[in-house]
A and B are shown apart, each in its own frame.
Chain A
Amino acid sequence: MPDTADILRLESLQVHFPIQRGLFDRVLGRPAGAVRAVDGIDLNIGRGEIVALVGESGSGKTTVGRVITKLAQPTGGRLLFEGRNMTAERGSSALRPYRHRVQMIFQDAYQALNPRHTVFDIVAEPLRSLRLVDNVTQLAERVSKALAAAGLNPAGDFFSRFPHELSGGQRQRVVIAGALAVKPELIIADEPVSMLDVSIRAQILQVLVDLRDKHNMALLFITHDLPLAWLIADRIAVLYLGKLVEIGSADEITFNPRHPYTVALRNATPQIGGNAGRAVLPALQGEVPSAARVPKGCRFHPRCPLTFDRCKKEEPPPIEVGPQHLSACWLAK
């Protein structure tokens, strides 16, 4: 179970990507625009906690993951790991201890694995580059343990195999084993099961939940799938156009969503059987606007079925609507 001290904290995290201006724009002195991929996010993850970050494509969820793993540099705000400010840390040697403790699982196991490396080399690579082992025996032992923890048994059978010899589920397990090998305390999993067949998904989720239960590992689970987030996470954070619109316990967000966007997301999710509380609000029209042209006021107001005057002018702050449940909506009160 999650304990109280946060392992990771994001404070007003912001990632803006500048838009290249043409000569014409510069001559005319038009201001440089920016894609506001992540536009001020506050989020904390406790030790051993599973937090799901839910959003559609373009919501900025992957960018958040990339900032945490130091693959992207924030343009504002702070990234705190165990209270230590990691925002400005750069360079591979300075980041080595951090990389040892924070690992990432990518969505596409086909692209994340080097096709010319064996499974052993793939899983051994982070151990070698972070210099976590002294000799080959130790290395083999760690690789073997990581493969077994990811559900590849017997591990020895997989050492000399290449990615193309594995099924999709096995490949995703190798990706997970690579992340596990260094025994991280926080894993960022970016859509780890969305490329997998339905019958394999549950196996991978089980591996991730076991890691938390046995090793108290914290997990940021990035997904577009609300029911999946409910299944695996303790808390769910819903992202829209670079900003959190709602955050709360998995059950609260699923059964008692308070932000119109979360409600729309839930209503749009196809479900087997009962859809109690469905169709309370009309279906959303249109599509997510570009992050280069974020609407004024509440960024959801052009699509929101409940918009009123204030939404067009002022951006709502996160408002407490229940214990540990925040919703950034003027109607939340």
Chain B
Amino acid sequence: MTNSSQDKAPLLDVNCLSVDYGLKGVSLRAIDRVSFALQAGEAVGLVGESGSGKTTTAMAIAGLLSPNARVSSGEVRYRGSRLPIDDDAAMRPHRWCETSVVFQGAMNALNPVHRIIKQIAEPCMLKLGMSRGEATARARELLGLVGIPTDRGSAYPHELSGGMRQRVMIAMALACRPSIVIGDEPTTALDVITQAQILKLLGELRSRLSLALILITHDLSVVAECCDRVMIMYAGRIVEDGTVAEIFAQPKHPYTRLLIESIPNPASGKKMIRPIPGDPPNLVNRPSGCAFHPRCPSAMGVCGTEVPSLDQFGRGRVACHLHRSSRGDKVAVHA
């Protein structure tokens, strides 16, 4: 595994991870040889469209893959030791205590018949072996941390607004003091002003509790606001990885560039609609070679036949044949 920020041992090291889903006897590859490292306290955005594998990647890290998923290659290391990500029972001590998840639909993730204070106290009792009294005290503390008035603890989920429910989800995710929090589209269902409040809260909690944050989203502008680094996924592969500043100023992969250009940006002053041609790839019929080549304006002959590897490029990584000429300092991540 190579990474630009190699100074210290990474908190999380994902190496050549592939996950297949079994579907009616057919096996679909959802993510394909995904490799990256996450440093303690780092905020990484995992960006992609539906079907790009961003959620599968995150769920694999958290050991929450669905039963029909199979890890077909690679491994995930946490603080140097290998995680049993495909063994539900063996993952139990790790899950929630080291890596926790803030899910998208807070209304579906919360139990409608329990008061929120009880739901926040529950992981403390189950995972940390606290007594009911201790857990309730911890839950009160957590409510304060996420900005919910403590007296709202006796409310049921339906009595809270969407933003408040998302705060409850964050409080639950923080209950066991994890080092990594995965946000799976945590603000997608929220209004812009509420979204800004939640993103601000996540940012504050991250620096206060020195959390590493993996933010899964389809919205590049959300990543621009609150991450240090961004990884762009397309058809199950990471196609580009770099710092937020570099990727937005100088995207290397044509997909990244088109994606950035397709977002309306009044600050740019350019009132232009630039559609990306074609449709997102179908996993059943994955295009040969580079999966983006049928939609890519810069596609060459080699793009249709050879899968570009994710190579070191400058301070980031990119998987594109256009950037192969300057091989010099590159190290192939996988054969």
Contact = CB atoms under 8 A, between A and B. Distances in A.
B273 A205 contact: yes
A273 interface: yes
B130 to A, nearest CB: 32
B279 A231 contact: no
Contacts, number: 117
B221 A272 contact: yes
A263 B197 CA distance: 15
Given A198-B259, A230-B271, A283-B200, A268 B265 contact: no
A117 interface: no
A200 B280 contact: yes
A271 B274 contact: no
Contact of B192 (A201, A265, A272): A265
Interface string B236-275: 0000000000001000000000111011111110010111
A267 B275 CA distance: 26
B225 interface: yes
A57 B191 contact: yes
A273 B265 contact: yes
Q: Which of the four size classes fits the interface of chain A?
A: 35 or more
A201 B280 CA distance: 12
B219 interface: yes
Contacts of A197: 49-50, 218, 280
Given A57-B191, A272-B220, A284-B193, A206 B275 contact: yes
Interface string A288-312: 1000000000000000000000000
Contacts of B264: 225, 227-228, 230-231
A169 interface: yes
Given A206-B273, A272-B260, A167 B280 contact: yes
A203 B275 CA distance: 5
Choose among B248, B259, B273, B280 the residue with the greatest number of A CB atoms under 10 Å from its CB.
B273
A264 interface: yes
B163 interface: yes
A111 to B, nearest CB: 17
Contact of A199 (B163, B248, B259): B259
Nearest to B234: A199
Contacts of A203: 275-277
A269 B219 CA distance: 11
B188 to A, nearest CB: 10
Contacts of A273: 224, 248, 265, 267-268
B207 interface: no
A141 interface: no
Contact of B265 (A56, A57, A272, A288): A272
A268 B276 contact: no
Q: Which of the four size classes fits the interface of chain B?
A: 35 or more
A267 B221 CA distance: 13
Contact of B258 (A199, A271, A272): A199
B2 interface: no
A201 B219 CA distance: 12
B196 interface: yes
B265 A271 contact: yes
Contact of B49 (A199, A205, A264, A287): A199
B253 to A, nearest CB: 13
A198 B263 contact: yes
A310 to B, nearest CB: 24
A136 interface: no
Interface in B182-203: 191-197, 199-200
A216 interface: no
Contacts of B219: 198, 270
A12 interface: no
Nearest to B191: A56
A271 B275 contact: no
Interface string A251-291: 00011000000001101111111111000000110011000
Contacts of A57: 191
Given A197-B49, A202-B274, A283 B220 contact: no
Contacts of B49: 197-199
A235 interface: no
Contacts of B192: 56, 224-226, 265, 268-269
A206 B197 CA distance: 32
B161 interface: yes
Interface string B268-305: 10010111110110100000000000010000000000
Contacts of B221: 269-272
Nearest to B244: A272
A167 B199 CA distance: 31
A209 interface: yes
A128 B190 CA distance: 39
Given A197-B50, A198-B218, A272-B263, 10 more contacts: A167-B282, A197-B280, A228-B264, A231-B271, A255-B266, A270-B221, A271-B267, A274-B267, A275-B267, A287-B194
21 contacts: A168-B50, A199-B262, A200-B276, A201-B262, A205-B273, A205-B275, A209-B273, A224-B191, A225-B264, A228-B264, A231-B271, A255-B266, A268-B192, A270-B219, A272-B248, A272-B263, A273-B267, A276-B267, A284-B197, A287-B163, A287-B193
Interface of A: 56-57, 167-170, 197-203, 205-206, 209, 224-228, 230-232, 254-255, 264-265, 267-276, 283-284, 287-288
Which 3 residue pairs across A and B have the least CB separation, nearest first? A268-B196, A231-B264, A202-B275
